[in-house]
Structure 1
């Protein structure tokens, strides 16, 4: 299980998504001088008042991380692992789209002066890349096993 490189890719992707749940995604400064922090759960003021809730993003990140983590333990069923990798990639693109949607909603609601994106903004992209690399490794293993079956 751990000796396969795709297991490390899947674990890495899951870890990046779990980190995204707890780290701030962006900081926003409005014309009024109020600073907001964007998290995967929502946009909150410095006093922890939630202004915009983004629970769909939080749930999608949580489901994606759980799917990728579960995928690690399916190493005996490569076809299902491949399918879960594809689902993980689709969920990753959905996560990026949903984050963009909420970003547009937030910019329309607030009079934004400036903003700073934090490192977790790229975590979904990193997770997609790692999941794709795991997909390639799993598919390569499946092709190798099938070719060995033909030799027998």
Structure 2
């Protein structure tokens, strides 16, 4: 059942969290040098954990409840990443570290959108199975 729509949404979330962090910089520092996620180990690990959760969730198609819970956990992890980015961009004084924000800071938002879409499709599948079980 890997061909379901939620698997496509989760795979897109994997690509966003694992591949696009190497393409799009998080921000440019005061010297104009782009800063990527792999420059900060904690951010890099959080992005890879998000990708891993999405990848594991794809193959949990037989256990939809666990798949749904993993999706929610992944959403929380991406909100944590987003909160860290907002904290860094607002709390640092002046133009010291973050001079220009990059598209990489918004990758957790895009990932959250696709994980929410996947969770909606998982919930829809679960409701369909429950409705069929009532008819038996």
- Scaled by the length of structure 2, what TM-score is found? 0.87
Larger Cα-atom Rg: 1
Change (3 A) 1:113 1:147: closer
Structure 2, gaps ≥5 residues long: none
Q: Note the residue ranges of structure 1 that are not aligned, 5 or more in a row.
A: 43-53
User: Aligned residue for 1:27?
Assistant: 28
Structure 1 residues 39 and 139: CA distance shift in structure 2, 3 A: same
1:11-47 per-residue CA deviation (whole Å, 9 max, x = no partner) reads 001100112431322223x3xxx223221133xxxxx
How far has the Cα of 1:139 moved from its partner? 0.6
1:72-111 equivalence runs, <5 A = 72-104=58-90, 107-108=92-93, 111=96
CA contact (8 A) 1:20 1:40 kept: no
Measured against aligned partners, the alpha-carbon deviations of 1:74-130 in whole angstroms (never above 9, x if no partner) come to 11110000000100111110010112233346x438546952x33322211110000
> Does the 8 Å CA contact 1:57/1:99 hold for their aligned counterparts?
no
| Structure with the larger helix share | 2
* Among 33, 38, 61, the residue aligned to 2:35: 38
- Matched residue pairs, number? 135
Q: 1:119 matched to which residue of 2?
A: 103
**What CA distance in whole angstroms lies between the structure 2 residues aligned with 1:96 and 1:88?**
12
User: 2:13–2:114: 8 Å Cα contact kept in structure 1?
Assistant: yes
Higher strand share: 1
TM-score by length of 1: 0.79
Bigger relative contact order, structure 1 or 2, given CA contacts below 8 A and separation 6+?
A: 2
Which residue of the partner structure matches residue 135 of structure 2? 151
